[in-house]
Structure formats: structure tokens, C-alpha cells
Amino acid sequence: MQKKEYLSLQIVCPEALSEILIAELSEMCYDSFWEQEEGFEAYVLKSDFDEAALQKVIRRYADIGTVSYSIGLVEEKNWNVEWERNFEPITVEDQCLVRADFHQIDKAYPYEIVINPKMSFGTGHHATTYLMLSWQLEIDHQNKKVMDAGCGTGILAIMAHLRNAGDIVAFDNNEWAVDNSRESFERNGCPENKMFLGTVSDIAEDDRFDIILANINRNVLLEEMPLYAARLQKEGTLLLSGFYNYDEPLIEEKAMASGLQVRGRKEKNDWVALRLSF
């Protein structure tokens, strides 16, 4: 049987662009992604590769940063084995374990989340996900109504469930993310509640939440800040991440314009997560 030929793309880009580009390429037949210090590596079947489509995606985000790439040819790989070699479990504040289903961990933690690492983000390894989980460990979720905006793998919604939240509404504008979240919910015994393909604009204007989680990127957060504020209970909490420390003034200015105040911040590897309320 003839082996399939894969292309390996070494993509060099600012860290702020990595997650965005991975999300875009995941919808274009790319099989796997490996985060690296200055970008990421992506794999795609040679027969499925469309360089013009790749360049179109890169141009779409030219205002965020410069992207370069190189292409190499590789033989077919057993991606499950590759993931097992590269995906390591992590712990957040020594309270929450995030692992894949092939990891065997002897130590017990108060919270444990199992994420099938189809993609290299939304697993807790990225600083922003780590920071959001860290904030969630500090916030009372008991019977709270929670929104997970841009849910990715569903990891934050799952944490909300483990923290005994009440109703949980999760959504993403990428179909792969919604499918991945549903798989993650089932794997972690989390009721699906309300999961849909869409954005915060699809949430009714009179619907109110006690906790809103938004780990996206600077531009989306700036655009959607008034929508989060409009759907947050007066005593509610908004957690934001997905931006660097040098973008923090812009985020704070937009939050203040929506009547929100920063009540706390966490930082890791120059990434920031803010806790806000009215």
C-alpha cells in the first residue's frame, strides 16, 4: 500500500497570531499542529495543500503581525503516537490536572480535566488558558449561570461544571471547536447544556450571566466588550484573556467605556488575564 505524502509547514509568526492561524488552518484539511517558540508546525496531505488559500489567510491578519513559512515533505505519521510523545499533562496552581486520556497519573487532584489533544491549544498549556483556569479556581461558581465565549476545546466550561456552576452556555464561531467541545464535554461527564455555533451576538439581549469567560484575542475582545457588559449581571464577573500586557491599556479603556472596572489581574509569559465587574 502506497504511503500518503504529507507536507510540513514551519510557520513563523508572533505568538498572538499562532492560535488564530491554527484555528483557521484546522478548517482547511490540516491534520495536526505543534506549537513552537516562534510560531508552529502544521501538517497537511500534499494532495490537499492549497498555497493560495494559505496566503489568503495570512493576508487577512497582516495587521497583527508578519508571517513567514517554509514547506517540507514528510511521510505519513501515526499522529496519535506523535501526540503521546509531545503532549504532557499540566497542573494549574497544584489544584487542577489537565491531561489526555492516554496519561496515567497516580496523584489525585481536586479537579481533573481530560482533553483529547486534537489541537495544540485549549489544553491549558497556553498561558492564557492557564491564567483563566487559575482565576476560575478563585471564583465562586456554585449554581452560577456561566457563558463561555469562544469555547475552543470547552476546557473553561468544563471547569465551570466541575466548580458546580448551574446553567452553562458555550459557543464558538468555528465548527471544529463546537465539535471538539462536545467531545470534551462527553469525556468529562459534563452536560452539554447549551452549545452552539455562533457568537455573543446570538445571545438574547435580555439574557444575563453571573460569570462570563472570554479567552479570545485582543481585536475580538475590543469589539465584543459592550456585548459582554450588556449580558453581565450587576454583581457578575467577567474574565478576559488572549492579549499581551502591552495591550492591557486598550482593553481597560474599552472596559471602562462599558461601565466595567478591573478588579484583579494575572500575568504569565507576558500574557494577561483580567477580572472585571461593574
φ and ψ of 25, to 5 deg: -70, -25
Which residues contact residue 56 at a Cβ distance below 8 angstroms, ignoring those fewer than 6 apart?
A: none
Mean pLDDT of 134-146: 98
CA distances (Å), origin 12, targets 35, 42, 45, 174, 257: 10, 11, 20, 23, 35
pLDDT higher than threshold 90 for residue 121 = no
pLDDT band at 1 (very low <50, low <70, confident <90, very high): very low
Write the DSSP assignment of 49-70 as a string of letters.
--HHHHHHHHHHTTTT---EEE
CA distance 14 to 89: 25
pLDDT confidence tier of residue 119, bands split at 50, 70 and 90: very low
Average pLDDT estimate for 240-263 = 94
Rounded distance, CA 201 to CA 175, Å?
Answer: 17
How confident is the model over 208-239, as pLDDT tens digits?
999 999 998 888 899 999 999 999 999 999 99
Domain boundary assignment for the chain:
5-83, 128-277
Answer yes or no: are the C-beta atoms of 210 and 145 closer than 8 Å: yes
One CATH from 3.90.960.10, 1.20.1440.230, 1.10.287.3510, 3.40.50.150 for 128-277: 3.40.50.150
For 172, other C-beta atoms within 10 Å of its C-beta total 26
What does the alpha-carbon distance between residue 16 and residue 244 come to, in Å, rounded to a whole number? Answer: 8
Contact between 6 and 46 (Cβ < 8 Å): yes
Q: Does position 15 have pLDDT exceeding 80, yes or no?
A: yes
Architecture of domain 5-83 in this structure: 2-Layer Sandwich (3.30)
Distance of CA 67 to the CA centre of its chain: 21
For the segment 151-204, what is each residue's pLDDT rounded down to a tens digit?
988 999 999 999 999 999 999 987 878 888 899 999 999 887 789 999 999 999
Q: Which helix (H) or strand (E) holds 169?
A: strand 168-172
CA distances for 64 relative to 30, 218, 232, 270, angstroms = 22, 10, 29, 17
Higher pLDDT, 198 or 122: 198
- CA-to-CA distance for 154 and 179, rounded, in angstroms? 10
Cell triple for residue 123? 489544553
The pLDDT of residue 127 is above 70: yes
Q: Which run of H or of E encompasses 5?
A: strand 5-12
Helix/strand/coil for 93? coil
Mean of pLDDT over the chain: 88
Beta bridge pairs of residue 71: 9
Query: Where is pLDDT greater, at 121 or 156?
Result: 156
